[in-house]
Structure formats: C-alpha cells, structure tokens
C-alpha cells in the first residue's frame, strides 16, 4: 500500500507529496500526523535547504477530511487545531523555506496549508477557495489573518464570505500565487526555485527570511530597527569583503545568463 505522504530527497531539497488522490488529498488525522512528523524531522536536518510541498492527482488538498469527521465523533477533537503541536505551528517553526506547488484544488484547510508555505507556485489547473463559512467551521490555521495580508482585505472578504472558487490566473493577479505554470512544468519549476534557494548563503538567507517573517507583525519603524540590529550582528560576525565579492560575481554571472537565455 502506498504511503499517504511521499517524502523524496534531491540533493539538498525535499519534496513532500500528499498522496490520497482518491480523497483529493483531504487531511485525515493520519495524514496530518505524518506531515507534522515529516516537517519536524526535516526541520532538524541541517543539510536540507528547502522543501517543496505538492499533491498527487488532481488536487493539492481539499481540506480537512469531513467524511472521516462525520464517521467518527471524536475526529474533531483528534486534531491539534492550534497550539505548539498544530500543523500550523510546526510549519511556521520550520527553518527551511517551503514552496507550495499547487497542482489542483486548494480548498479551505488545503488553502490554509498552501499559505503555510513561504510562497505558492500554481499550475494552470489550480483552483483556490475558502469554504469555511459554507461548511460551518471557523478557521484555525490562519485563514482570517494570512489571506488578507496576501491579497488585501476586500478580496479576502470576497473569498471567505462567498466561498467562491478562484482560478489560478486570478489568484496570481491577486497576489495569492507568485506565478502560474503548466501542469507539466509545475514541479520542475518549484524544484528549480528550491535549488536556487539552496545555492544562497544559508546564514544570510535564514536571517533575511526571519526578518521578513518578523517584520510582517511589526510597525515599519520597529521592523527597520530590527533589520539594523540583524545587520550589525551579521557584519560583526564572519562576513568578509572577499566572500561578498564572490557572491556578487556569482549572482551577476547568473543574472547575465538568465537575461541572455543561456
């Protein structure tokens, strides 16, 4: 029997694939437990640099497994909806950037799962929706706070209050997804971006990522002050002008190759 969560490793990146295609990768208690454990384990792996999260079949994730809940009165209590053991907290504590490669339906809890990532790449087959108000469950994994920060208050209201489905093109236009690819090129593109992250200086990348995450919850003057503090700490450490020059030359060389199409 195939695992409900596939874990693959390619050099210094990992690919996690939700593998319940017949159930549209709905989040059963077992799948949430496996995903939580995988993220904990990968978080402790210092040789890892980035994670790609995707789904098998025609869905990324259709949200919490409502069929399991309807068949088991204790299923609702079986989820760690919030707190340090929740999937939300475990994903946010992961020190490695997570790229969501959304291949199909990302609905309600599935949309929240995608938004736990650092950013989203969408297939042209992707569809996004928040149906919490329709199914009668109040969000607990950040929908009411993360979605408005990504796409703006009014668009978030439109999605969450209507339950309307949003296609990949509109999701990209609204800022929910960073880019749209074909179904065939989605995973290769997500892996390419993960490998680009893996090529950066790990200390600097983690500090920049941390500043972006911290700054989202701070007023601008406080966020700028925090950036200055991290800069001073970094410069007082092992930074050398020689290493900076090497990094600049490498980035310039890659930029020129991209522009010329090499």
Provide the residue-wise pLDDT of the chain in tens; the chain has 262 residues: 689 999 999 999 999 999 999 999 999 999 999 999 999 999 999 999 999 999 999 999 999 888 887 776 655 555 666 778 888 899 999 999 999 999 999 999 999 999 999 999 999 999 999 999 999 989 988 899 999 999 999 999 999 999 999 999 999 999 999 999 999 999 999 999 999 999 999 999 999 999 999 998 889 999 999 999 988 888 887 665 665 555 555 556 655 556 566 5
The residues, any chain, with a CB within 8 Å of residue 61's CB and separated by 6 or more, are 18, 24, 25, 26, 27, 55, 105, 106, 107, 109, 110, 113, 114
Return the pLDDT at 252. Answer: 60
Under a CB-based contact definition with an 8 Å cutoff, are residues 60 and 103 in contact?
Answer: yes
Give pTM, 2 decimals: 0.90
121 three-state secondary structure: strand
Classify 5-198 by CATH class: alpha beta
Residue 41 Cα to chain centre, angstroms:
17
Structure confidence at residue 142 (pLDDT): 87
pLDDT of the residue at 140: 83
The 10 Å Cβ neighbour count of residue 235 is 9
CB 229 within 8 A of CB 215: no
Domain boundary assignment for the chain: 5-198, 202-260
What does the pLDDT read at residue 243?
Answer: 58
As a whole number of Å, the CA-based R_g of the chain is 19
Q: Is 5 left (phi over 0), alpha (psi -120 to 50) or beta?
A: beta
Name the pairing type of β-strands 179-181 and 127-129.
Answer: unpaired
Instruction: For residue 93, give both structure tokens.
Output: 């504590």
Q: Are 27 and 80 in contact (CB under 8 A)?
A: no
- Nearest C-alpha neighbor of 29 from the set 90, 91, 77, 101: 77
Q: How high is the pLDDT of residue 68?
A: 82
Query: What's the pLDDT at 250?
Result: 59
């Amino acid at each position: 029997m195939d695992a409900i969560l596939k874990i693959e490793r390619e050099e210094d990146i990992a690919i996690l694939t939700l593998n319940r295609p017949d159930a549209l990768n709905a989040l059963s208690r077992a799948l949430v437990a496996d995903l939580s454990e995988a993220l904990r384990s990968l978080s402790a792996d210092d040789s890892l640099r980035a994670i790609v999260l995707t789904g098998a079949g025609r869905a990324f994730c259709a949200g919490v497994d409502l069929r399991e809940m309807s068949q088991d009165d204790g299923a609702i209590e079986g989820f760690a909806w919030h707190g340090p053991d929740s999937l939300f907290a475990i994903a946010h504590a992961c020190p490695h950037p997570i790229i969501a490669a959304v291949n199909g339906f990302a609905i309600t809890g599935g949309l929240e799962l995608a938004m736990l990532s650092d950013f989203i790449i969408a297939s042209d087959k992707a569809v996004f929706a928040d149906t919490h108000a329709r199914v009668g469950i109040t969000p607990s994994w950040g929908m009411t706070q993360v979605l408005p920060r990504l796409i703006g208050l009014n668009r978030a209201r439109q999605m969450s209050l209507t339950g309307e489905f949003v296609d990949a093109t509109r999701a990209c236009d609204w800022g929910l997804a960073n880019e749209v690819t074909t179904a065939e090129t989605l995973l290769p593109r997500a892996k390419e971006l993960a490998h680009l992250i893996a090529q950066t200086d790990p200390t600097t990348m983690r500090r920049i990522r941390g500043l972006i995450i911290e700054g989202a919850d701070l007023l601008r003057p406080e966020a700028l002050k925090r950036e200055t503090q991290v800069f001073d700490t970094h410069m007082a450490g092992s930074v050398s002008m020689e290493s900076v020059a090497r990094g600049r030359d490498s980035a310039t060389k890659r930029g020129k190759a991209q522009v010329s199409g090499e």
